[in-house]
Structure formats: C-alpha cells, structure tokens
A and B are shown apart, each in its own frame.
Chain A
Amino acid sequence: MYENLILILDATLRVSAPLILAALAGLFSERSGIVNIALEGKLLSAAFAAAATASVTGNVWLGLLAAIGVSVCLSLIHGFASITHRGDQIVSGVAINMLAVGLTVTLGRFWFGLGGQTPALPDSARFTPITLPGADAVADVPVIGPLYSELISGHNILVYLALLMVPFVWWVVFRTRFGLRLRAAGENPHAVDTAGISVAWIRYRALICAGILCGIAGAYLSTAHSAGFVANMSAGKGFIALAALIFGKWKPVPVLFGCLLFGFLDAVAIRLQGAELPIVGEIPVQAIEVLPYILTVLLLAGFIGRAVGPKSIGVPYVKTR
C-alpha cells in the first residue's frame, strides 16, 4: 500500500511538472490582462523544437534553448495581434493553437520523414533522472527510504526547476516592482498608464515570461518525459494547465496545488484502468480524466469557492476611453 502510494505520488510529480510550468506561464500573461488559451499551442511547438534540435545536434540544452525561442516567438505573435493591434485575444490564441498543430507535423514530416515524428532520442540527448546524494544509501531504510529515494530523488532536472519556479514566480509577481506593475496592468491599466508606465510594454514582457516558461514545459514533454516528438503530444495539457490556473485562482502556490491535484488524478486514472475497487466497482477511466474540467467549471460557477480573474483580462488597452 505504502509503496503504491509512493509510486503514484512519484508519477504525479512527473505528470505535474509541465502543468506547473505552463500554468505559471499562463499566470504571467493573465495577470497582465492577456487571456492565454494559446498555452497548448506553445507547449506543442516547444516540444517539437526541443526534440528536433536535440535530435539534430545531440545536445539537449540546445533543444531547451530552441524550445524557449520558438515559444517566445509565438508569444510575440500573440502580443503583436492582441496588444499592438488590439485584436481579440481568444481568436489569436485559437490561431496559434491551430498553427502549432499544423506546422509541427508539416515541418517534422519534411525534415525527418517519419510521418511527423522526430527520431527517438538517445539518453545522451535527453534530460535523464538525477540521483540525489545519499539516495542509494537510504533506499533500504523503512518509510523514509522509499520516500527519499523514489519520490524526492530520481527526477530529471526540469521537475526540480518546475518546483523551484513556484516560489520564484511568487516573488516576482508579489514582491518586485515589475510584479506590481504586471498585476496593475491586469486590474486597472488606466492607473498604470497614468503613472507614466507603458501598459503595452508590461504586457509584452509578461508574454515573454510566459513564452520562456512554456518553452521549458514543452521541452520537458519531448526530451524529458518522452524520448522524441509525436504528433499532437501535448494532448490538451495546455488546457489542463489553464484549468489549474483558474483552479488556483491566479496565485502561484494554489496553482501548484491545482497542478498537483490534476496530475494526481491523471496518475491515479492510469493505475486504476480496469481495476475493481471495493464498493464502487470499476470506475471508468474517463470519469477520472474529466474531473479537472468539471472541477474547474464548478469553481468558475461559484459552486465550490469562487474564482475571480484579473479585472481587465481580455480587454485590449486603449488610451483614450
């Protein structure tokens, strides 16, 4: 039982890591007033860029860099449409998601000729698990041993990075001047403008931050979690991250717990496939899979707590109004 629990929690961390990064990316952009349903597309493109670069150069760090670059570019397109030209943020998000699905497969097919996949990456071109010091030594100690050696140790570096990003993003958003302006741009952009600060520039910077985080999340998908890119491998994770962002009420630590909860549900769903439970019998996997979406809908509707987003979210800023 205990071992099972450790295994499930271990899987939870692995599944949650990209969600955490993507949700924090969404936090930057939505806190500044830009709805970001393009997380999904950025994840997918970044995953492709990372796997393609890593497979050509054999260097996983170059892959990460390429992923960040591509994701930031998409963010800038999003910004160009929705900040500079005051286009609809949701429409431009939809466009980016479509673009990602089409371009990754088209370019992948052209470059690698594998029907849209990238070649399988060798371990040297992936982020591999890191064994923390002392993990092997304590592995046999009861209770604490498995906890440390299985759950805490043995993840790749991006998992730890994702967890470290949570306090860092909290610090940036709630303890720095940039963070204050960022939040103000999402709540009351006119006040920001009156103070002589450019709303557009703040929102652009927020989108760049979002691009960087999404890039890391995408690289995680294709070069850490899997060994290569497969068509449509983000499989709705960007939207789950968006759900977690709302679930966490646009605050870093609750967002972390939202991601861990959704990751946990995912990990449990995989293990429960076909298993007979006492009392309830066999639970359909789909019922667990939709829980994140249903929980988010309920929360948004105020049936369990209330999620209220930044006030000026989704509204292009116009000076003279």
Chain B
Amino acid sequence: MNDSKIPAWVNIIGLPLVNIFFAFAFSAIIFVAVDVNPLEAAVVMVKGALGYQEGVGYTLYYATNFIFTGLAVAVAFSAGLFNIGGEGQAYLGGLGVGLACLGLDHALPFWALLPITMVASMAFGALWALIPAYLQAYRGSHIVITTIMFNFIASALMVYLMVNVLKLDGQMAPVSRVFEQSAVMPMFHEIAGWFGFSFSESPMNLSFFIALACCVLVWILLWRTRWGYAIRAMGSSPTAAEYGGINHKKLVIIVMLISGALSGMLGLNEVQGYGQQLKLDFVAGYGFTGIAVCLIGRNHPVGIILASLLFGILYQGGAELAFDFPNIDREMIQVVQALVVLFSGALALMLVKPTERIFVLWDRKKKSLGKAQAEA
C-alpha cells in the first residue's frame, strides 16, 4: 500500500493526534454555540478529573470500564469483525456477576468468590456473543446486525428479570438486594491502606488492576501466540488466511467468545465494585464508548489504556462541568465522543492522502537537493 511513503511515527502517533485535534476543535465550536468558553471548560474538566485524589479515582473507575469494552472491540476488530454488541454482552456479564454475588455472598469469603464472579462475568458475556458468532460463522448472517439486535434482546431480558424475578418484595424500584459487604470488590482506598498509603474514597476498585492484566493478556494473545497470528491474519486478509489453512469459522467463534468475555467483565467494575447490587441500565453506553476507545487506541492494548484514560477524563471532567456551567451536562460529553468516533474512525483516511503528498514532495526536494550538492 501507499502507507510506506509516510514515516511510521506519523502514521502511528501523528495522524491519530491530528484526528483527535479535529474532534476537539469541532467540540469547541459546539461549546461556543451553547455560550461556554471551551478553554475554561477544558480547564474545569482537567482539574475535575486529575486535580484531586477523588477525581483521579473516578477517572480511573471510568477508565476501567473503557479498558474492558475497548479491548473487547479491539480483539474482534483484529480479526476483521465488528462487535457492536458490547453493550448487551456487558449487561449479561453484569447479570452473571450479580447472580453469583446474590447466590454466594453469604457462603463464601471474597477471595473465594472473586474467581467465581470473574468466570461468571466472562461466561455470560461470552454466551451473549456466541450466538451472533455462530450465526455469522455458520449461517452467514451479518454480525453487526445480529449484535445490535442482541443488545435490544439483552435489555428486554434484564427488564424482565429485574421487574419480575430479582426485585425485592414491597419495593417500587427494580433493584436487587445489596450484596453483603464481604462480596464487594476492595476499593482502591482500602487497597492503598493495606500498603500504608492513604487515598481519598472513590469508586475505583480492584477491577482496575484486573483490566490492566487483561491488557497484558490480550497483548500476549494477539502478538505472541499462534492464535493471535491467525486472528490478525484473518483481519488483514480473510482469503489469504483461509488459503494458509486457518479455519475461518472456528476462529470467528473463538474471537467473539474472547470479545464477549472481555465486555462481560465490565460487570466486575460496575456491579461488584460500584453498584453493589443489580439494577437496570448500569452499562449506560460504556459498550458503545468501547468502539471510540478502540478506534483511538488503534487496536493496541497500550493505545487502549491511553484512550481509556482520555475518556475517563472526559467522563469525570464532564460530570464536573455541570456544576460550573448551568448550560451543559454529561450529554455534552456524548457530543465530544461522537466527534472523536467520526474523526478518528469514519474519517480516519481523510488526512492520509494529503499527508502522503506532503511527504512525497519532501522526498523529492531532498533528492533534488542531494543531487545538486553532488553535482556541485
């Protein structure tokens, strides 16, 4: 391809940064349109997200969600599959965590329960991805459409379960009972306490470290194993991969199971960490944000951690914005997020051609200069 004309660093770091810059520039226009000074807003957001310990805790708590869903999208993307069903898979994963906690929180101590909730979150999430994966691999239905449909089915299923099965008697709100304190994820301020540090209270919890571990595992999977090689081969050229003896159907299923399991683990952070009970709508769009995270992170675990931090800052900072500026609230962050997806994802190729042209010109100039010097 023509990419080779552009130096690698421009392709990997330069262009994505310019794309994000474009997204922020357009966001700034919208901030101005609702009478908010974008620079002041940016200062409030960064201060609110990083300026004090509780803010940092919240930022990393959000980032935990984004790492899980971002990795989920990335694994599928590496194989050329678009898993848009992170929302539903995370919902089901949370259900798995919740059921495990409700059933076993009296019986088991935390460290015995944790492996069970982890397996439950992964199994439930993977199960919700398995059906679309099977249908894509063996029945030829398009995975994007099926996973969208499964998001809606998951949401209806949860409403049914919460209202008719898990709701407490004599209560109006469709929420389950609160888990025993022993079942809840250790919060970061507690963990810091074990090591003799002090940290303000925040919803950041152990699952942040589980998420980081997942990043390492995904990196090993994709770049250091045969499966990972097969996955990436399928992503870059399905026909060549097939020709090379890779079983396409089996791989689609494996990839989607991994992707669904990663989405499902969001439940560890949201249900076992933050919510501490089952309720409706705890996924709240984190699954879709995973798409944005994966696009900015360029499918790479390191990129995904950085992108998750960026979105953690946006979410936590966005929540702070509402205090200072009555005109806006969290929805504004949706706009920023949408523009990021638009510029870093859909319009990612927009700047490739012009950049290429610049470097071609640059090359020619250097060559002609070199020639002139040689002649002189």
Asked whether any CB of chain B lies closer than 8 Å to the CB of A90, the reply is yes
Q: Which of A287-310 contact B (CB under 8 A)?
A: 287, 289-290, 293-294, 296-297, 300-303, 309
Shortest Cβ gap from A6 to chain B (Å): 28
Asked whether any CB of chain A lies closer than 8 Å to the CB of B359, the reply is no
CA distance A99 to B34 in the complex (A): 15
Is B350 a contact partner of A85 (Cβ separation < 8 A)?
yes
Asked whether any CB of chain B lies closer than 8 Å to the CB of A176, the reply is no
Q: Which of A99-125 contact B (CB under 8 A)?
A: 99, 101-103, 105-107, 109-110, 116
Asked whether any CB of chain B lies closer than 8 Å to the CB of A199, the reply is no
Asked whether any CB of chain A lies closer than 8 Å to the CB of B160, the reply is yes
Interface flags for A259-277 (1: CB within 8 Å of B; 0: not) read 0000000000000000000
Shortest Cβ gap from A238 to chain B (Å): 10
Interface flags for B327-341 (1: CB within 8 Å of A; 0: not) read 111011111111101
CA distance A23 to B329 in the complex (A): 33
Stretch at the interface among A140-148, A182-190, A239-247, A250-258: A239-247
Interchain CB contact (< 8 A) of A300 among B141, B328, B347: B141
Asked whether any CB of chain B lies closer than 8 Å to the CB of A12, the reply is no
Knowing A96-B338, A98-B341, the reply to whether A82 touches B346 (Cβ < 8 A) is: yes
CA distance A318 to B327 in the complex (A): 44
CA distance A90 to B160 in the complex (A): 30
Knowing A86-B349, A106-B331, the reply to whether A98 touches B338 (Cβ < 8 A) is: yes
Interchain CB contact (< 8 A) of B334 among A80, A102, A294: A102
CA distance A243 to B159 in the complex (A): 21
Asked whether any CB of chain B lies closer than 8 Å to the CB of A35, the reply is yes
Knowing A81-B347, A92-B346, A102-B337, the reply to whether A290 touches B145 (Cβ < 8 A) is: no
Residues in B whose Cβ lies below 8 Å from that of A106: 30, 34, 328-329, 331-332, 335
Q: Chain B interface mostly helix, strand, loop or mixed?
A: helix
Q: Which of A218-249 contact B (CB under 8 A)?
A: 236, 239, 242-243, 246
Is B335 a contact partner of A102 (Cβ separation < 8 A)?
yes
Residues in B whose Cβ lies below 8 Å from that of A296: 145, 149
CA distance A287 to B163 in the complex (A): 13
Q: Chain A interface mostly helix, strand, loop or mixed?
A: helix
CA distance A85 to B343 in the complex (A): 11
Residues in B whose Cβ lies below 8 Å from that of A99: 334-335, 338-339, 342
Residues in B whose Cβ lies below 8 Å from that of A161: none
Interchain CB contact (< 8 A) of B146 among A81, A236, A287, A300: A300
Residues in A whose Cβ lies below 8 Å from that of B240: none
Asked whether any CB of chain B lies closer than 8 Å to the CB of A284, the reply is yes
Asked whether any CB of chain B lies closer than 8 Å to the CB of A37, the reply is yes
Shortest Cβ gap from B367 to chain A (Å): 27
5 A-B pairs closest in CB distance? A102-B334, A92-B346, A98-B338, A300-B141, A102-B335
Using a CB–CB cutoff of 8 Å, the interface residues on chain A facing chain B are 35, 37, 77, 80-82, 85-88, 90-92, 94-99, 101-103, 105-107, 109-110, 116, 236, 239, 242-243, 246, 284, 286-287, 289-290, 293-294, 296-297, 300-303, 309
CB pairs A–B below 8 angstroms (29 shown) = A80-B347, A81-B346, A86-B349, A87-B350, A91-B345, A92-B346, A92-B347, A99-B334, A101-B334, A103-B30, A106-B332, A106-B335, A109-B331, A110-B33, A239-B148, A239-B152, A242-B148, A246-B145, A286-B160, A287-B156, A290-B153, A293-B153, A297-B146, A297-B149, A300-B141, A300-B145, A301-B139, A301-B141, A302-B139
Using a CB–CB cutoff of 8 Å, the interface residues on chain B facing chain A are 30, 33-35, 82, 84, 135, 139-142, 144-146, 148-150, 152-153, 156-157, 159-160, 164, 288, 291, 295, 327-329, 331-339, 341-342, 345-350
